[in-house]
Amino acid sequence: MTSVTKRRIVHALTGRAGTARIILAVALAGMAATACDVHGATQPGALSVLSVTPNPQTLAVGATQQFTAKGTDFAGEDVGIVSPTWSVVSGGGTISASGLFTAGTTPNSFANTVQATSDGKTATATVIVVAGPLASITVTPNPATLGIGAAQQYTAVGKDASGNVVAITPTWSVVAGGGSINATSGLFTAGNVAGTYANTVRAGVGAIFATATVTVTSGPLASIAVTPNPDTLQTGGTRQFTAVGRDAGGNVVPITPTWSVVNSGGTISASGLFIAGTTTGTYVNTVRATSGTVTGSATVTVTPVLTSITVTPNPDTLQANSQQVFTAVGRDANGNIVAFTPVWAVVNGGGSIDRSTGRFTAGLAAGTYTNTVRASSGSTSGFATVVITSNAAPVALLGNASPNGIMAGTAFTCVSLGVIAADIAISPGSTVTGFPPCQITGAQHLADAQAALAQQDLTTAYNTLAGLPCPPANAIVANLGGTTKAAGVYCSATSIGVTGVLTLDGGGDPNATFVFQAGTGLTTAGDVVLINGAQAKNVYWQVGSSATIGTASQWQGNIVALTSITLVDNANLIGRALARNGAVSLGTNNKVTLP
Quickly state the pLDDT bin for 110 (edges 50, 70, 90). Answer: very high
Q: At residue 12, does pLDDT exceed 50? A: no
pLDDT for 365: 74
* Residue 107, H or E segment: none
Q: Which pLDDT score, from 0 to 100, does residue 248 have?
A: 86
Domains of the chain in sequence order: 3-36 (no CATH), 49-130 (2.60.40.10), 136-217 (2.60.40.10), 223-302 (2.60.40.10), 308-388 (2.60.40.10), 397-593 (no CATH)
The pLDDT tens digits of the residues spanning 335-381 come to: 888 889 999 999 999 888 999 999 998 887 778 999 999 999 999 99
Q: Confidence class of residue 44 from pLDDT cuts 50, 70 and 90?
A: low
Instruction: Give the tens place of pLDDT for each residue, 148-165.
Output: 888 999 999 999 988 999
Query: CB of 145 within 8 A of CB of 217?
Result: yes
- Higher-pLDDT residue of 568 and 349 is 568
pLDDT computed for residue 27 by the predictor: 38
- The chain-wide mean pLDDT, for the chain, equals 90
User: Distance between CA atoms of 569 and 575, rounded to whole angstroms?
Assistant: 17
Let me know: does 259 contact 188? Beta carbons within 8 Å: no
Task: Describe the chain by its helix, strand, coil percentages, rounded to 5.
Answer: 10, 50, 40
- If one compares 588 and 37, the residue with the highest pLDDT of the two is 588
What band does 75 get if pLDDT is binned at 50, 70 and 90? Answer: confident
Q: How far apart are CA 496 and CA 487, in angstroms?
A: 17
Task: Say which residue, 3 or 441, is predicted with more confidence.
Answer: 441
Q: Taking residues 261-287, what's their average pLDDT?
A: 95
pLDDT over 70, % of the chain: 91
Split at pLDDT 50, 70, 90, the class of 406 is very high
pLDDT digits (tens, 9 = 90+) for 529-565: 999 999 999 999 999 999 999 999 999 999 999 999 9
Q: Is 351 exposed, middle or buried (0-12, 13-18, 19+ CB in 10 A)?
A: buried
DSSP letters for 420-484: EESEEEE-S--EEE-TTTSEE-S-EEESSHHHHHHHHHHHHHHHHHHHS---GGGB--S--TT-E
CA torsion through residues 113, 117, 121, 123, sign: negative
**What's residue 438's pLDDT?**
95
pLDDT in tens, 482-537: 999 999 999 999 999 999 999 999 988 888 899 999 999 999 999 999 999 999 99
Which segment of 14-18, 61-65, 78-82, 283-287 scores lowest on mean pLDDT? 14-18
Higher pLDDT, 459 or 367: 459
pTM of the model: 0.44
CB 553 within 8 A of CB 571: yes
Q: How far apart are CA 585 and CA 445, in angstroms?
A: 17
> CA 285 to CA 296: how far, in whole Å?
8
